[in-house]
Chains A and B, each alone.
Chain A
C-alpha cells in the first residue's frame, strides 16, 4: 500500500539535532530570541492572533522573549468553544429524499423559516463566541480554516451540519493538518457543499476531487485532469447517512477499479488519495503561503515559506510547531510588514468591541453588520472563500465601516438620542454595535497619567502604524479616540 503520508527526507533528521546542539551551546539564533520582545512586537503578536489586546496584556507579553510569548499564546488556546451553541434541529428534512413531500405548503414554509432563523442564530453564536472567548487565537485559526475548507450554509442548508463542521475545524485548528484534511473529507457539510453526495460509480462528480487539489492541498498547476478524474472515482460513495446526518460509505456506488493519482496506482479509496496529496511537498508550501497572507503580509517571502514548509513537513503537519515557527520568525515582526494586512469585517467588529470591553446589543446585529461589510460567517461567497486583503475595502464597505465606528463614538454623548426609541432602533440596526457605552475617560485610565504620554500610548495600542490624521498632543479622550478609530490606519493590522 501507500507509504505514510509525510516521510521527511532523511537529512532533516540529521539537521534537527544540529540545531539543538547550537542551542545548547547558546549560539546565535537562540540568544537573539532570548531578549524580551518589547511593546511593538507584543502588540503585533496579540493584535494579529487575538483580535485586540489591552495595555496590560501588551506589557506582560513585552517582557517575554518571542519563544515564551508564543508558547504562552499557544498554551492558552482551546479546542472547543466556551459558549454552547444555539438550539439547532437535527438533520434538515430537505436533505432526506422525499423528506419534504409529505409536508403541506404551510409546513414547508414553517420549516424553511425555522432553518433560516437557526442559520442566523448560528452566525450570531459564532460572533458571540469570538467576542467572549478566552482563546481568541483558536477562533482566528478556526475562521482561517473556515475560509480554507470552505462550506456555506446557503448550499449546505442545514445549520446543524454547519455547526458540526465548525466544531471539527475548531478541534483541529491548531492540531494536525493531515488529520484535519481526512476529517474534512468525511464531514457531511463538506460532502454536501462540494456535491460528493452525487459522486457515484459510473457517474462521478468531480467537484470535491478538483477542489481538494486546487484549493485544499496542492494549489493550481500541480495536478492534471486525469488525476482529478481518478481521484473523483476514489471518493465515489462517500455520502451522508440520511438518518443521523453522519458520514456513510455507500459501497454499492463506490468504484473499486484501478486508479492512478499523481503517479500512484492501485485500488485507491478517498483516504489513499488524501495521503498521496499529503505526501507532496507542494501541499505544505501551499498552506504556509496562505497562513503567511493571513498572519504576516500580502506578499509571501519565498525562502521563508520554503523554510517553514520544511518545518511543517518534518513535524508531520502538526500546526503548533508550524505556527510557533511562523510567529517567532523575523518576518512576522518586521517593521515593514506592520499595518500591511487589512482587517476583515470580523476583525474590525470583534476587535473593536473586545478592545473597549463592550457587550454587544445583539450578536445577530453584529453578524448582519459583518455580512453587510462583506463577510457573512458560515456563508463564504464560493468555494474559494473570501479573497480578503484589499478586496475587503470598497466605497460601500468603507463607508459602512466608518459609519459603524461613528455610531459607536457618537454613543459617547448621546443620552438624549438614546432615549428616543426611533434612534435606539436605528442604533440597534446595521451598525448599532453595543449596548453599553464607550467611556473614553475610563478607557484611557490604563495608560500614563501624563496627557501627551497617555495619548501617545493609546495611539500606539490602537494603530499598527503612525496615524495619518494629525492629532493634538493634548486631545481630550473622546476626541482622541474619534481621531484614532476613524483614521485609515485603524482599518489595518
Chain B
C-alpha cells in the first residue's frame, strides 16, 4: 500500500519536474525563435511603410458605439508616436530642423490629427500640436486644420492664437494680425491677443515678437506645445548670444589681427553685454561659455565665429 503510494508520488513529482524543464526549454526556444524570426523578416518597401489610413474619422463618427473620444485619443497617440518614430529612425547624419520636417516625410501626421478632430472636434491638444508641427510640413494644411478647429470651436481664442502663429511663421503678418484681432474679440480672450495684433502690425519680424509669441505658446497648457515653445525660446536666446559672441570675436580680431585662442579671452568683454531680460552669459566651473542648454559654445578659429551644438540652426531661421 505505502509502496504504491510512494511510487505514485514519485511519478507525480517526476512528471512535474519534466514539465518544468520542458517549460523552461520551451520558453528559451520561444525567445530565440521569436528573435530569429523577427530578424529574418522580409523588409517592407519604403513606399509601403506609410500605408494610407484605411478609415477616415468622419466616416467612423456615429459607428463606434459612442466611443468617439477614445478613438480620437488613439489617433492622437498614433500621431505622436508617428512623428516620434520618424525622428528616432532618421539617419544619424541627418540634421533635422523644426522649421522643415519635410525630409522626414511625415505625410500621415495630418490624416491622424484630422481623424482625431473629426471624431472629437473639441480636441484642443490636437489643434495645438497641429499648429506647432504642421507648418513645418505643409503650411497650407496647417492653416486648413486650424481653420477647421475655429469652425468647430468659434469662441475658443486659443485657435485664433494658433492661426496667428502659423501666419507669423509664414511672414504673412497682415493675416496674423487679423487672426489675433478676431481672437481678441472672443469671450475670455486675454489682453495679449490685442497686444499681439498690434505687434504684428508694427514689429512682426523682431526677436522680441518671436519671444512674446513663444512665451504665450508655452503658457497654452498643452505639454507638447509647451516643450516646443520652450525649445524655441532657448533657441532665440542662443541666437542672441551667438550674435553677441561673434561681434566680440570680430572686435578682438580687428584689434589683434587674429582670432582668440579660447573663448575665455573675451569673457571680460562679454560681461558688458546686455542680453534680453537682463540675462547674462552662463559659464561652467572651468570658465567655458555655455548655451541655454548648458553645452559649451564651439569656436571655429578659421571663421572666427561660434556655434551651438544644442541649436544647430541658430541664426539661420526663427
User: Do these two chains interact?
Assistant: no
Using a CB–CB cutoff of 8 Å, the interface residues on chain B facing chain A are none
